[in-house]
Amino acid sequence: MSEFEFIKMNGLGNDFVIIDQRINELDHSSTEVQHICNRDKGIGCDQLIYIRNSEISDIPLLKFYNSDGGEISACGNGTRCVANYLMEQD
């Protein structure tokens, strides 16, 4: 797996790896997501979150993955962390 930029954040006991795909145009397979989330061999986190540009809005899109590599629809604590990151960017 190649190197990439990421942000590590914590929210109410959960930790997240956030990858801003507006900067890093990369995507990971389910196996790679599992590796990134692995606390022994990867970065380690509860969930991986991608921030993407929307084709129809100025509001970024978020994609969430659990540590097992499966995509989920949303995460409140993760969304709060991304909102904090986005506010710091402006």
Residue 11 belongs to a domain with what CATH number? 3.10.310.10
In a 13 Å sphere around the CA of 4, the CA atoms on its Cβ side amount to: 23
pLDDT tens digits, the chain, 90 residues: what are they?
Answer: 678 899 999 999 999 999 999 987 777 889 999 999 999 999 999 999 999 999 999 999 999 999 999 999 999 999 999 999 999 986
Is 78 part of any domain?
yes
78: left (phi over 0), alpha (psi -120 to 50) or beta: alpha
Record the pTM: 0.91
Please tell me the predicted confidence (pLDDT) of residue 1.
Answer: 61
Is 2 part of any domain?
no
Is 82 part of any domain?
yes
Is 16 part of any domain?
yes
Please tell me the predicted confidence (pLDDT) of residue 25.
Answer: 77
> What's the maximum distance between 2 C-alpha atoms anywhere in the chain?
39
Number of domains, the chain: 1
Domain enclosing residue 73, as ranges: 7-89
Is 47 part of any domain?
yes
